[in-house]
Structure formats: structure tokens, C-alpha cells
Amino acid sequence: MSRKERFRSRGRARRARTAENFEEQQGDELPSRKNKHVSTRQQLTKLYYNLLIVLFVCLVVGLLIYGRSAYG
């Protein structure tokens, strides 16, 4: 008896079990990937752009104040 013939039934049984488990999981609703693996990338991007806007406004205000005091 060859190795393939000897272990063939084990492989078939394992595949049948995994197929059954897959069918059971399909019955239950799985969580979405977004809920399961929460990402903070979007929040960090928003924070970064808001920080850039605030720094730009501060620069403009600072230059206006400097211009008035130096030339006004």
C-alpha cells in the first residue's frame, strides 16, 4: 500500500470538516473588515490637514502683525 492510499481518507475527512465549518460560518453574519481592523489613518490625515491650516493662519496673522509694527 502506497503512502497516498494510506492517508487518502484522512485528507477527505479533513476537507469535509472544513467545508462544514465554512457553511456554518456563512450562516452567521461576519463583521466587516472595517469593524474588525479599525484604522486610525483617516483620523490622522484629518488632524494633519487641520494642523496645516492652523499653522498657515498663524503665519498670516503673524506676518500681518509684524508688517503693521515694522511699517505702520
Element (H, E) at 49: helix 41-71
Average pLDDT over residues 34-49: 88
**Is 11 inside any structural domain?**
no
User: Which stretches of 28-40 are DSSP H helices?
Assistant: 33-36
**Is 15 inside any structural domain?**
no
Provide the mean pLDDT of the chain. 81
Longest dimension (CA), the chain: 102
**Is 21 inside any structural domain?**
no
Residue 71 identity:
Y
Which set of grid coordinates corresponds to residue 57?
493662519
Confidence at 23, pLDDT banded by 50, 70, 90: low
**Is 17 inside any structural domain?**
no
**Is 51 inside any structural domain?**
yes
Q: Name the domain count of the chain.
A: 1
Residue 39: pLDDT over 90:
no
Domain region containing 50? 40-72
Over residues 42-53, the pLDDT tens digits come to 899 999 999 999
Average pLDDT over residues 38-65: 95
Question: pTM of the prediction?
Answer: 0.50
**Is 22 inside any structural domain?**
no
